[in-house]
Structure 1
């Protein structure tokens, strides 16, 4: 079945946008280049003066961009969704989250958003269970979107991919529109709607595109996001050049060079066989022990390679200044291990960046996604989800004792509830529910409760004493 003219034009525009994003520009690296920098497989550009072509195998790559991304992504861990009037995470949204394995998939969205500047969360109807919509995380290497310049809402999106599950390799795409999701396949005549039973058009009629872009570092004139790595790429290349030169210098000048004068051709022959010695046999011993009275030897001082360490350390300090990463994350180890207070001070900027992600683009994208999930579940808008809040694990790294001490003091002062104290200690919603059930069971048995308090030396409540 042929697509409508409007659908065809939209699909072509999105395909062109994806191709441009992957290629990039002279000033902005494309997605393919950013992908290599994250994986530590970038191609190092050099003038070829200090490192000739025959020594290119000594090129050493520095993977600081990937370290920067992972340091942020691994601290952005979601722990559920909560409505303003609720004290705990919403169980229904938690069920949908777990049914879609988002504990594993969500970190992929966060990582891609940091690497490429954006990633995508797609929501779709689940034919097997209408109350459990499908939520998938997609890569910007395969996907593009358009948004309204007035409302900033997504107006269309498309995912382009290859599929060989039918015994032949086919170019396919999924076009996401405001009221439908269309699966298409490329034929000789161009893009056509797929006729496979499992790829039927989904006319959900939600009035919104079932795709949520997770945009990183957006600005008013750059609404499609920027890579978190963009500021450190040039410094990374500079450090890689320094390490490459260190490799070459180690090979060429790290070992003391020797010279020999007055030797004859006979000095390079094996005295037993009369055959010429190999270069390595001559260099590592045979030449330096000769009966030739005219031979003269000299040894040069080996090059001092300390300057290369200074260069790399300087670039590491610059990267730390730009990113907020502690120097130890960049391989610069201190003589003494940092103290707990030193760690908190050292990671203050990094923790701040993580909080800006979870409270900003990451949290907002997941909250809008869950509103779309509820829209598919009920067929209606859910005003109660307008103030939905995503819960996140604390991105800081306090010690267990410090976290427990802070939670207990806040609870005793009446600032937070027992449930919030347990949440601050990192317990999941399921663990907190089990603890509260244990509390309820203990309260049902006063004798057991009294015995536990005597063992744990916990004072009895005032009303119990009365």
Structure 2
């Protein structure tokens, strides 16, 4: 059991990290709300908001979701090749698949795109020494502290979450792990109020059955990795959503004004001038006129009846409002969103008239480059994640090789099967090996292994066909005789 001084230092570190985490929660929640389409009406005048604000409070023309989803759908991890190895590491991908990270990694990438960062946590499984537990964590629940002057060397990490009427926290240090808890005041409150309450409560060690607190960290490093989105040298990373919010608000306002104009002035309007409001007599039980009351104009409008009295009465008309003016401005705004976020216009506008394959490829160049940038930055974190898996398995040499390894991503470009086949055929003709071509086709390393086994079985079943294929191919670099062996003897 740690001493009082160690406990005091751990609590102080938790409180410091939590304060920084709380400051991040509000902008993160805003970005998440816009992604979900929960977008309040802004830029409207006080009069418009007074009369029509409640009418459109649940409406949004949500372009934020398209912008955030477009790169994530092209981010797929196929594997990792450790430094000094010719093939991808099958064990790393086994752990990846066992933890369901083929799906959860998409949640991690999406969380980073929306919230500017997300996190991955690696820890050993007491029930399975060979398969560590790997999870992706939200930016509102995790924070990492780095060594001064470093953007990669992790000093500590905190994971905090609410469980019923308590807050739980785990402090990860290179040599030990602390677990804390503290109660909430009174009943469970909203997330914002709960965040305020936590600043006033005291953390205390959380005792878990059969586990020491703190417990040693056998990995020797902080087991939490941060996935940055659009990082800067001296500032916090940037969310892909924040740059879209202002234009999204403008689009929603124009739609609200268009709907209002459509409700009031979408059709030619007629008005009666120079006439008094029609009155009808009020009769008593004997049928005598005892007064009068105005005619119900709403009933006349529903029955399509005009009731006009007076010598100078006449009917005037004004034309319908031009709603196309609104839609043209909205198209311009959506075009700005596409240009600023490098999202293809046909993703947003949905118009693909007579686009050739080359034109479509050119239209998606910006998105492809955007995806490749994310592969670069996320790839650093995923390499470290695989290294942590190796450390959790007790293999330090492998962890070192994985840190300097090469990430294998699925192709970020969207191409037709005909284009892919033509490209692979040309590469084959200039001598590229079959295994490389299979990876360019988008197959995972495991699928390539299965495919090579299938080819081997086919060759065994049809040796003559395999020999004919070799003769058609002609000798390649691998088939040439060694320099010290005569060609006749090699033949």
TM-score by length of 1: 0.87
1:43-102 deviations in whole A, cap 9, x for unaligned?
Answer: 232342462312111354232222111001111111111124434321110111011100
Structure 1: stretches of 5+ with no match in the other structure: 24-29
Q: Residues 15 and 199 (structure 1 numbering): CA distance in 2 closer, same or farther, change over 3 Å?
A: farther
* 2:172 counterpart (169, 176, 200): 176
Match of 1:158 in 2: 158
Partner of 1:216: 229
Q: Please report how far the alpha carbon of residue 278 of structure 1 lies from its aligned counterpart in structure 2 after TM superposition.
A: 5.8
**Runs of 4+ with deviation above 6 angstroms:** 274-277
How does 1:214-293 map onto structure 2 within 5 Å?
214-222=227-235, 224-261=236-273, 262=275, 264-266=277-279, 280-288=298-306, 290=307
Give per-residue Cα distances to partners, 1:28-56, cap 9 Å, x unaligned.
xx111111111121223234246231211
Say if 1:92 and 1:267 are closer, same or farther in 2 by CA, change over 3 A.
farther
* Paired residue secondary structure (1:52): helix
- Secondary structure in 1 matching 2:216: coil
Q: Is 1:14 aligned to 2:12, yes or no?
A: no
Deviates more, 1:213-222 or 1:249-258: 249-258
Q: Which residue of 2 aligns with 1:393?
A: 410
Partner of 1:26: none
In the other structure, the counterpart of 2:77 is 78
Instruction: Give the aligned partner of residue 383 of structure 2.
Output: 367
1:345 and 2:343 matched: no
The count of corresponding residues between Structure 1 and Structure 2 is 442
Number of the residue aligned with 2:289: none
8 Å Cα contact 2:113-2:241 kept in structure 1? yes
- 2:28–2:115 Cα contact (<8 Å) kept: yes
CA distance in 2: counterparts of 1:128 and 1:35, whole angstroms: 35
In structure 2, what is the equivalent of residue 100 of structure 1?
Answer: 99
Aligned equivalent of 1:357, options 374, 378, 386: 374
1:40-51 superposed matches below 5 A: 40-49=37-46, 51=48
**Is the 2:35–2:114 Cα contact (8 Å) retained in structure 1?**
yes
SS at match of 1:217: coil
Aligned mate of 1:58, from 47, 56, 68: 56
Contact map agreement 1:268 1:287 (CA 8 A) in 2: no
Change (3 A) 1:127 1:291: same
Separation of aligned partners in 2, 1:332 and 1:11: 49
Tell me how far 1:120 sits from its aligned partner.
0.4
Q: Cα RMSD (Å) of the superposition?
A: 2.8
- Taking structure 2 as the reference length, what is the TM-score of the superposition? 0.83
**How far does residue 197 in structure 1 lie from its aligned partner after superposition?**
2.2
The structure with more radius of gyration: 2
How far, CA to CA, are the matches of 1:127 and 1:208 in structure 2? 19
SS in 1 for 2:125: coil
How far the C-alpha of 1:199 sits from its partner, in A, is 6.5
